Structure 1
Amino acid sequence: MSVSRRQLLMGAVASAPLFALTACGSGGGRDGAGGGGGGLSAWALTGGPEKVFRSTFARWNKDNPDHKFKVQYFANDAYKQKIRTSVGSGNGPTLIYSWAGGTLKDYVASKDVVDITDKIPTLTKRALPAVLDVGKVDGKVYAVPINNSQPVLFYYNKKLFKQAGVEVPKTFGDLLAAVKTFKSKGILPIALAGQSQWPELMWIEYLVDRMGGPEPFKKAFEQKKGAWSDPAFKKAFGKLKELIDAGAFGDKFGSVVADNNADAALVYTDKAAMLLQGSWVYTTFTNDAAKWFKAGNLGWFDFPSIEGGTGDKSNVYGNPSNYFSVSSKASKEDQDRAAKFLDKYNLSDSACQELIDMGLVPAVQNIEGKLAASKDKDFLQYTYDQTKNAKSFQLSWDQALSDKQAQTILTKLSAFFLGKASADDFISAMNGTIK
């Protein structure tokens, strides 16, 4: 089965295992598992490979028969609607699932979750540092990674590269030259699902980072006045316009949809040479284009550096992981038990092996041996190294910021790609969202 980003964010592939907690039922809204001192609890998203976390929580429950976790399952939208209200009223679960980012920041400001920095010594040593950092606020750990990392990377059609005599781009200049070469040969240089809007975000995220490092967006995330006026944003838009004007994405990208994997299809049908997408797209190539893939036509590479830019080439964008926090409304005893679960049972060796068997890369250290034994070892090792070696792994902007800010970003950026808005329009609009 091919996997979309929406499925990952909804829990259908990567997120759901975290909530597949116990054998206490599988319907939405059952069991009354709240976190206000009434025993250990967690809420789950429906769908996906639930066996990973079913087995993880089953081990806990077997070892701790007097302190079992209870779980409720919700569809993604229902969960998002219920969790904020429930957490704010003190009726949320003991373990609070989130994508970190702005939501976690709000939880910390409202004192809805507790600092667990000193309660997770094992996981602190085990988790990948760049991924663990996403769960920190003001240097303290309030959320921990609980599944796989999902970095954004370039996929490329080796056959088309060979035919055109193009080498893998190392710099933005190389990328622009490759675009012009492919265009001159009647090949779409880069597939882009513009109708979905969020794939366009990957471009400006990486360009800003390669131009100015993680600091410009960090200021925006911290809601500092005028943060979007940092020169890195304007310069990044300039680079993006160079690509658009060079015909990098063709003139039909606005009708291409990501959720049906139409962008990846352009690559494996030999119509497009490159695609900037998340690691979740890999299974689209292996499953939907098995013959093409087995012929060795798929390659991948990091987003290129920008000449004159100050961002580190190891920096990565995407979804570092999904996260669990411990509710401040749970009893002190249950807070300690929940922290123990996160430290000792979460992302255990057996759980990591199950994730790897599913073609997913757990956000932990020292799993090279397990990856080497996988049938997808080359790609899994690449994405693992990409995450492990990242000096910064930034959560996608639309997940890091509030829903309102995310929608403004997507709308204004889409208008820029279509030539209906300028960089200044985008910057002004985003500065206007900071109160």
Structure 2
Amino acid sequence: MSLSRRSAVTLAAVVLLIGGCASEGKPGPEAGAGGGSKVTVEWWNISTTEPLKSIWAEKVQEYQALHPNVIINNVPIENEAYKARLTTLTQSGKTPDIYTTWGGGVLKQQIDAGLAKDISADIAPWIDTMAPASLQAYQFDGKTYAVPYDIGMVGFWYNKALFAKAGITAPPATWAEYLDDIKKLKAAGITPIALAGKEKWPGHYYWAYLAMRVAGLDALKQAAVDHEFGGPDFVAAGRHLKELVDLDPFQKGFLGASYNTPDGQAATMGNGKAAMELMGQWAPSVEKEAGKDLGKDLGFFPFPAVEGGKGSASDAFGGGGGYAVGKDAPAEAVDFLKFISQIDNHRKAVESGAVLPVVKGAEDAVKDPNLAAVAQALSSATGFQLYLDQAYPPAVGQEVNDSVAELIAGKKTPEQVVEAITTTAKSD
């Protein structure tokens, strides 16, 4: 859950009258320096809540003051409404000049349709200021198609007091240790894991991470190319997940539980009724909103290593947000992205708690200790995998969510999971 995930919790709907998305003028020879003909840059984003909404509005004003010939038409749209409107627009062969993207399969479809601009040459002078992991979701065949503004990762959020009650003195480093801790928690009368089984996407995190640890990042990438998920390593990932499921680790009624409702996953965790949840960097704030603030009792640890696996325990899984550039966008579109990516401007967004650092040197701007734990893990990550329901084409990503949910519910075997995903991938 990148910002798209957060939106399921806090974003409020807005009603906007949106005009055409083509630029009103092409830049003159000195447009980027504040001279030349008038240019309008249409910017669709999902920053409808504070603090990022106000930060972006302020940066628009600052940029326009520096470039009097440029108008940045800042259009914040609620997440789900944004997806629907962008889909409608791209089906007509158009995009805004700048628009929110989560990379992966959807962006690749836009690239293949000739809608997203290759900005590799445009950002070459300053791409080295960006953290490499933050760029991966937007790069295809050695080319870059978006500029990141946020990144995050999924990991285990845990209740330190409940771990101590069960006699667990340190977070598990391996999958075997993790399963052993599940048994210790259950023996102490503690529900080990909160899970929103109804919503499916939280469950896919387990299979995805296990696939990363067992098969490795390269295997996940190759599977997307070959449309083949039936190898033994992917089956093994499902078998490891079944090991967990067989321990009955989730809260009562988890199959009907949502994520952010008063009786959902976040509230179960926040109210101290479960010892941990596998969730993104937004988890502490949602736990507080849906339940209670665990305060100093809340801790974070990365997904454990799997013994004998080909993947590195320091590889991270998550997402973020980026801004793609439309094929017909004026040069000022990329120049504006350069402006908001300058370290001082990015630091302000990071200090607000709205985003995690994607610009090198901004790490110390993270003030919240929970977010700092995630930022630290990301800073040492050796590789990065985008959420599978975003990394792959939409139909394949949905099948991952659906099939893994059925495995967790006891309705599919590990073999049936990979067979279903492969069938969908080959027919997509």
TM-score relative to the length of structure 2 = 0.87
> In the TM superposition, what are the counterparts of 1:177-326 in structure 2 within 5 Å?
177-222=180-225, 224-225=226-227, 227-260=228-261, 262-286=264-288, 292-293=294-295, 296-319=296-319, 321-326=320-325
Q: Alpha-carbon deviation of 1:289?
A: 6.0
Supply the distance in 2 between the matched residues of 1:11 and 1:97 (Cα, whole angstroms). 18
Equivalent pair of 1:6/1:259 in contact (CA under 8 Å): no
Gap regions ≥5 residues in structure 2: 27-39
Q: Is the 8 A contact 1:57 1:69 kept in 2?
A: yes
Quickly say closer, same or farther: Cα 1:359–1:114, change in 2 above 3 A.
closer
Change in 2 beyond 3 A, CA 1:173/1:351: same
Rounded to whole Å, the distance in 2 between the matches of 1:415 and 1:67 is: 52
Q: Given residue 245 of structure 1, which amino acid in structure 2 is its aligned partner?
A: D
Q: Whole-Å Cα distance in 2 between the matches of residues 114 and 386 of structure 1?
A: 32
Distance change (3 Å), C-alpha of 1:207 and 1:360: same
Query: Aligned to 1:70, what secondary structure does the other structure show?
Result: strand
Please state whether the residue corresponding to 1:408 is helix, strand or coil: helix
User: Given the alignment of the two structures, is residue 34 of structure 1 paired with residue 22 of structure 2, yes or no?
Assistant: yes
**Identity of paired residues, percent?**
28
Q: How far does residue 318 in structure 1 lie from its aligned partner after superposition?
A: 1.4
Q: Does 1:344 align with 2:344?
A: no
Alignment partner of 1:150: what SS? Answer: strand
State the alpha-carbon separation in 2 of the partners of residues 183 and 278 from structure 1. 24
In structure 2, how many angstroms separate the alpha carbons of the residues matched to 1:33 and 1:12? 27
AA aligned opposite 1:418: A
**Contact 1:204/1:237, CA 8 A, preserved across alignment:** yes
Matches within 5 A, 1:329-368: 329-330=328-329, 334=330, 336-346=331-341, 348-358=343-353, 360-368=355-363
Root-mean-square deviation (CA), in Å?
A: 2.6
- 1:53 corresponds to 2:51: no
Structure 1: distance between partners of 2:404 and 2:350:
34
- Aligned residue for 2:72? 69
Write the deviation string for residues 76-122 of structure 1: whole angstroms up to 9, x where unpaired.
33432332443354442111321111111112222222221122145
Aligned residues: 409
Cα distance in structure 1, aligned partners of 2:48 and 2:89: 22
- Partners of 1:61 and 1:4 lie apart in 2 by 29
Q: Distance in 2 between matches of 1:310 and 1:252?
A: 35
Partner amino acid, structure 2, of 1:118:
A
Query: Residues of 2 paired with 1:269 and 1:71: CA distance?
Result: 39
> Could you tell which deviates more after superposition, 387-396 or 282-291?
282-291
* Structure 1, 193-202 or 407-416: larger mean CA deviation: 407-416
1:414 and 1:180, CA in 2 relative to 1: closer, same or farther beyond 3 A? same
Does 1:426 find its partner at 2:427? Answer: no
Contact 1:122 1:344 in 2 (8 A): no
| Offset, 1:351 | 3.9
Q: By how many angstroms is 1:368 displaced?
A: 3.4
Corresponding position of 1:108? 111
Shift in CA distance, 421/245, structure 1 to aligned 2, threshold 3 Å: same
Q: How far apart, CA to CA, are the structure 1 residues paired with 2:105 and 2:7?
A: 15
Q: Which shows bigger deviation, 77-86 or 110-119?
A: 77-86
Aligned-partner Cα distance in 2 for 1:271–1:27: 38
Measure how far apart 1:58 and its partner are: 1.6
Distance 1:305 1:79, change over 3 A: same
Displacement of 1:347 in angstroms is: 5.5
Distance 1:6 1:94, change over 3 A: closer
Instruction: Quickly say closer, same or farther: Cα 1:5–1:255, change in 2 above 3 A.
Output: farther
Q: TM-score, normalised by structure 1?
A: 0.86
Change (3 A) 1:99 1:11: farther
Aligned to 2:6: 8
Give distance in 1, aligned partners of 2:47 and 2:136: 28
Q: CA deviation at 1:238?
A: 0.8
8 A contact 2:57–2:74 mirrored in 1: no
Q: 1:136 to 1:5 in 2, by over 3 A?
A: closer
Deviation at 1:403, TM superposition (A): 2.6
CA change 1:156–1:66 in 2 (3 A) is same
For residues 94 and 25 of structure 2, the distance between their equivalents in structure 1, rounded to whole angstroms, comes to: 9
CA distance in 2: counterparts of 1:431 and 1:290, whole angstroms: 41
Deviations 1:328-370 (A, max 9, x none): 123xxx1x22122222333542343233223532322212332
State the shift of 1:12 in Å: 5.5
Q: 1:405: how far off?
A: 2.1
Q: CA deviation at 1:267?
A: 2.9
Alpha-carbon distance in 2 for matches of 1:312, 1:391: 8
Cα distance in 2 for partners of 1:41, 1:250 equals 46
Q: 2: distance between equivalents of 1:251 and 1:289?
A: 17
